[in-house]
């Protein structure tokens, strides 16, 4: 049995961090156009808050990906369930994730998107669990670095539950 057990980051702490990240992004892309790509479903809440704090010409698109089982196919391959609507050739693309764990999902996504020749491709994640990293990816904007705990809320689920929590909570085995 799993149970929600404690708050890791409050609504206020998340809000502060989102503004901090947005201002950094705004500074780095000053004078440029930016396509922000939210990875569904988890990053949708974070991304919606983030883009509203970025004072630039921002376009938004979505992708939904799922990792293949690691035993049947070569590791680090993603299946694209919903692809981008727009062509990213010569565009500044910022991928927005909720949480990076092994990094497999993002590393294969980056490979796939780089073949489309964007002008630039960077990664932003609200949460990072570097302890379990299995592929070396460079994440350009990181909100919180956390220990290896299972967290939920602010878009992130456990079995599709808890996405609507306004804070980030910890789920524990009881
Ligand atoms: P990875 O980096 O390829 O291992 O996968 C990252 C994905 O795993 C995230 O986008 C989440 O969907 C999921 N994930 C990893 N850690 C957690 C967690 O603590 N809570 C909920 N989902 C998680
Ligand atoms: Mg995800």
Reported as a pLDDT band with limits 50, 70 and 90, residue 69 is low
What CATH number is given for 10-150 in this structure? 3.40.50.2020
Reported as a pLDDT band with limits 50, 70 and 90, residue 77 is confident
Q: What separation in Å is there between the alpha carbon of 171 and the centre of ligand 2?
A: 17
The phi and psi torsions of 162 (rounded to 5 degrees) equal 75, 5
Q: What separation in Å is there between the alpha carbon of 31 and the centre of ligand 1?
A: 33
| CA of 132, closest atom in ligand 1 | 4
pLDDT at 79 > cutoff 80: yes
Annotated domain spans of the chain: 10-150
Q: What does the pLDDT look like over 32-56, one tens digit per residue?
A: 999 999 999 999 999 999 999 999 9
C-alpha dihedral (120, 61, 10, 165), degrees to nearest 10: -150
Which is nearest to 49 in space by CA: 34, 63, 60?
A: 60
pLDDT at 58 > cutoff 80: yes
At 72 the pLDDT is 40
Which of 61, 83, 85, 101 is flagged as catalytic?
101
Classify residue 47 as left (phi > 0), alpha (psi -120 to 50) or beta. alpha
Pairwise pLDDT comparison (29 vs 75), residue with the higher score: 29
Q: Is 173 a catalytic residue?
A: no
Pairwise pLDDT comparison (68 vs 110), residue with the higher score: 110
Q: What does the pLDDT look like over 91-105, one tens digit per residue?
A: 999 999 999 999 988
How distant is the alpha carbon of residue 47 from its chain centre?
8
Over residues 9-31, the mean pLDDT reads: 98
Q: What separation in Å is there between the alpha carbon of 92 and the centre of ligand 1?
A: 25
Ion ligand 2 — residues with CB < 5 Å: 42
Question: Which pTM does this prediction carry?
Answer: 0.94
Give the pocket of ligand 1 (CB within 6 Å): 42, 67, 97-105, 150-152, 156
Q: What does the pLDDT look like over 113-169, one tens digit per residue?
A: 999 999 999 999 999 999 989 888 999 999 999 999 999 999 999 999 999 999 999
Which is nearest to 14 in space by CA: 156, 154, 157?
A: 154
Asked if residue 89 lies in contact with residue 117, where contact means CB atoms within 8 angstroms, the answer is yes
At 135 the pLDDT is 86
8, 63, 101, 110, best to mutate for ligand 1 pocket (most atoms within 8 Å of CB): 101
């Amino acid at each position: 049995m799993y149970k929600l057990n404690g708050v890791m980051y409050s609504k206020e702490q998340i809000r502060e961090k989102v503004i901090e990240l947005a201002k950094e992004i705004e500074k780095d892309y000053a004078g440029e156009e930016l396509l922000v790509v939210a990875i569904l479903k988890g990053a949708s809440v974070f991304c919606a808050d983030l883009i509203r704090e970025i004072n630039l010409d921002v376009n938004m698109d979505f992708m939904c990906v799922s990792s293949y089982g690691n035993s049947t196919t070569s590791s680090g391959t993603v299946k694209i369930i919903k692809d981008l609507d727009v062509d990213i050739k010569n565009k500044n693309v910022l991928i927005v994730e909720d949480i990076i764990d092994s990094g497999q999902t993002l590393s294969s996504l980056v490979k796939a998107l780089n073949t489309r020749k964007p002008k630039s491709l960077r990664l932003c994640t609200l949460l990072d669990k570097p302890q379990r990293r299995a592929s070396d990816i460079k994440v350009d904007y990181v909100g919180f670095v956390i220990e290896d705990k299972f967290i939920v809320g602010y878009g992130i689920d456990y079995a599709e539950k808890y996405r609507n929590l306004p804070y980030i909570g910890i789920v524990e085995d009881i």
